[in-house]
């Protein structure tokens, strides 16, 4: 509570100053948000929690924005908050963020907003994302954002645009008194990052410090080049150096340096990018250098699209702030599709994933290839369908781990603002067949209300685990469960979307094996 009050006071003080300096005719906008959702709170383990979140933002003349968000984790009974002030007092030539923010470099290979990586091997893809260099955090969870100051300086015009974005982040976290006395922790910085408040034996304050900068150049709206780098250190409250990931086999890490270059060309028919990066981790008496490169090309026209992308790294590469997996891996993702061919779209794809080290919390590496063939029926007023067949083959040669999956989705749109959706997925392996089916009915009212309800039935066997989503799906698109037995789920959802305001409520009941649970999620946004 003391931490919450401090953050609240620290955030409100600049807001009061800004309001006091407002011109009489200043245009303002206030946004109020509140909701309860089930979210991923630990991206490494994939564990979920029920989260209550509320927040508000205040904008002045589209120049200054103050945002405050508070969050309560019902599973851990922990309350946290984040705040930020975003300002652009000199128009587009200069902007800054003070408080909690997220960073994103290039395609997110070494720095990016964390994405939920689906555990289902039949839905994993190459992770490529494009975001603004920095954005204010509205999560309410300090563990999901940096804290400090970031700024952007822009010069040039439409033909040549130059941008420099330095940043500094100091995240206050807590470790045990024993760890502080030893000057080292055995866990990773991502684990330390979760200790945002003093609790139990974790009462000794420490700081995770990140500093760096991004230089960005875009010209003639076709070429884009970005160079970036940052350092990571771990300090006590007395500014003494601390080590992380110390064990009997390692002296611990004292410093991490990461950097790289992102280059992209894109027009109406071709997109190509490459992002070589490096990481240097060092500690007492040792240093490891790791390299990685991601690259890709996409060709497209009105009826044809093909893409090839990949990620290739050595065993020493490790990037804790990456958008996707942080460990070393080799990925290849290839797809070819034909679109708008009468009433049919069709395509094939190939995906290969090979982990170079064992994943945290697992005794094995992901090493497999997947081949997909898909087709869609579109262009009809009342009917549409999607079909997909996939085959997964492990690279370790174990025939028993091979599996195949067939899925189909049928969409019906009868008169009367009704929508019907039915889905079936069957997964086949040597030990047996797992399957699930689901049906959803949706009705639109006055073009602003939607009512949905659905039922899903799952039948999975132990050696052929099935990943399924209870339809209608969760708003946060993370409600995917692993089934190894019989299960089912009911779900209902109501949504209102106005010109400015919005609201939704979803209820879900899931039975997975012998366990049963109920989930509710809701969100309200008011703008005035």
Joined together, the tokens standing for residue 218 give 């875009």
8 A C-beta contact, residue 355 and residue 366: yes
Q: For the chain, which domains are there?
A: 402-528 (2.40.160.10)
The pLDDT score that the predictor gives to residue 363 is: 58
3-state secondary structure of 190: helix
pTM > 0.75: yes or no: yes
Judged against a pLDDT cut of 70, whether residue 174 lies above it is answered with yes
**pLDDT band at 7; cut points 50, 70, 90:** very low
Neighbours of 455 (CB within 10 A): 15
What would the pLDDT profile of 384-415 be if each residue is shown by its tens digit?
999 999 999 988 766 657 899 999 999 999 88
- How many Cβ atoms sit within 10 Å of the Cβ of residue 210? 22
498-516 average pLDDT score: 89
302-321: average pLDDT: 92
pLDDT value of position 27: 87
| Residue the block writes with tokens 């290039």 | 106
pLDDT of residue 381: 80
- If you average pLDDT over residues 222-236, what whole number do you get? 96
Does residue 457 surpass a pLDDT of 90? yes
Q: SS3 of 401, please?
A: helix
pLDDT in tens, 100-153: 999 999 999 999 987 767 778 888 888 777 788 999 999 899 998 999 999 999
Residues 6+ apart with CB under 8 A from 446: none
Q: How far apart are CA 331 and CA 322, in angstroms?
A: 15
Lowest mean per-residue pLDDT among 12-26, 236-250, 261-275: 12-26
Distance CA 299, CA 322 (A): 27
Q: How far apart are CA 86 and CA 131, in angstroms?
A: 17
Inter-CA distances, 333 with 106, 307, 321, 352, 389, Å: 19, 8, 22, 7, 17
Q: How do residues 72-108 score in pLDDT, each as one tens digit?
A: 988 888 899 999 999 998 888 999 999 999 999 999 9
Angstrom CA distances, 488 to 135, 478, 494, stand at: 39, 17, 21
Confidence of residue 41 (pLDDT cuts 50, 70, 90): low
The DSSP result for 214-261, as a single string, is EEEEEETTTEEEEEEEEEEEEEETTS-B-BBS-BTTB--B-EEEEEEE
Average model confidence (pLDDT) for the chain? 88
Q: Return the higher-pLDDT residue of 100 and 379.
A: 100
Q: Give the CA count within 13 Å in the CB-facing half-sphere of 438.
A: 23
């Amino acid at each position: 509570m003391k931490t919450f009050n401090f953050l609240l006071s620290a955030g409100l003080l600049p807001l009061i100053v800004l309001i006091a300096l407002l011109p009489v005719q200043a245009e303002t906008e206030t946004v109020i948000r509140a909701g309860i959702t089930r979210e991923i709170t630990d991206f490494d383990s994939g564990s979920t929690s029920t989260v209550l979140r509320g927040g508000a933002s205040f904008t002045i003349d589209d120049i200054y924005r103050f945002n405050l968000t508070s969050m309560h984790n019902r599973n851990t009974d922990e309350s946290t908050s984040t705040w930020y002030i975003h300002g652009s007092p000199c128009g587009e030539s200069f902007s800054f963020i003070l408080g909690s923010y997220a960073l994103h470099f290039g395609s997110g290979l070494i720095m990016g907003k964390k994405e939920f990586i689906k555990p289902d091997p039949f839905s994993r893809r190459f992770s490529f994302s494009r975001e603004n260099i920095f954005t204010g955090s509205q999560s309410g969870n300090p563990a999901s954002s940096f804290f400090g100051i970031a700024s952007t300086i822009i010069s040039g015009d439409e033909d040549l645009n130059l941008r420099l974005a330095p940043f500094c982040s100091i995240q206050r976290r807590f470790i045990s008194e024993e760890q502080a006395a030893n000057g080292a922790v055995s866990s990773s910085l991502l684990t330390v990052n979760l200790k945002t408040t003093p609790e139990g034996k974790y009462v000794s304050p420490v700081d995770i410090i990140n500093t760096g900068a991004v230089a960005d150049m875009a010209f003639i709206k076709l070429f884009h080049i970005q160079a970036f780098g940052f350092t990571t250190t771990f300090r006590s409250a007395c500014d003494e150096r601390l080590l992380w990931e110390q064990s009997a086999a390692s002296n611990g890490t004292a410093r991490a340096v990461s950097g790289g270059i992102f280059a992209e060309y894109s027009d109406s028919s071709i997109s190509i990018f490459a992002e070589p990066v490096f990481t240097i981790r060092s500690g007492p008496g040792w240093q490891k250098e790791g390299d990685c490169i991601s690259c890709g090309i996409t060709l497209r026209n009105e009826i044809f699209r093909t893409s090839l992308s990949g990620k290739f790294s050595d065993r020493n590469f490790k990037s804790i702030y990456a958008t996707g997996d942080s460990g070393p891996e080799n990925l290849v993702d290839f797809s070819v599709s034909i679109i708008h061919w009468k009433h049919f779209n069709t395509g094939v794809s190939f995906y290969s994933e090979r982990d170079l080290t064992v994943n945290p919390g697992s005794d094995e590496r992901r090493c497999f290839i997947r081949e997909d063939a898909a087709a869609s029926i579109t262009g009809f007023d009342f009917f549409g369908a999607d079909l997909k067949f996939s085959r997964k083959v492990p690279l370790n040669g174990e025939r028993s781990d091979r599996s195949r999956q067939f899925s189909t989705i049928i969409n019906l749109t009868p008169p009367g603002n009704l929508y019907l959706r039915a889905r079936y997925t069957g997964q086949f392996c040597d030990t047996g067949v797992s399957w699930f089916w689901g049906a959803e009915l949706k009705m639109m009212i006055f073009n602003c209300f939607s009512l949905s309800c659905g039922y899903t039935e799952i039948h999975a066997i132990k050696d052929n685990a099935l990943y399924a989503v209870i339809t209608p799906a969760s708003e946060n698109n993370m409600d995917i469960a692993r089934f190894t037995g019989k299960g089912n789920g009911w779900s209902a959802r109501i949504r209102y979307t106005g010109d400015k305001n919005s609201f939704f409520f979803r209820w879900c009941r899931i039975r997975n094996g012998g366990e049963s649970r109920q989930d509710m999620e809701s969100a309200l946004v008011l703008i005035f």
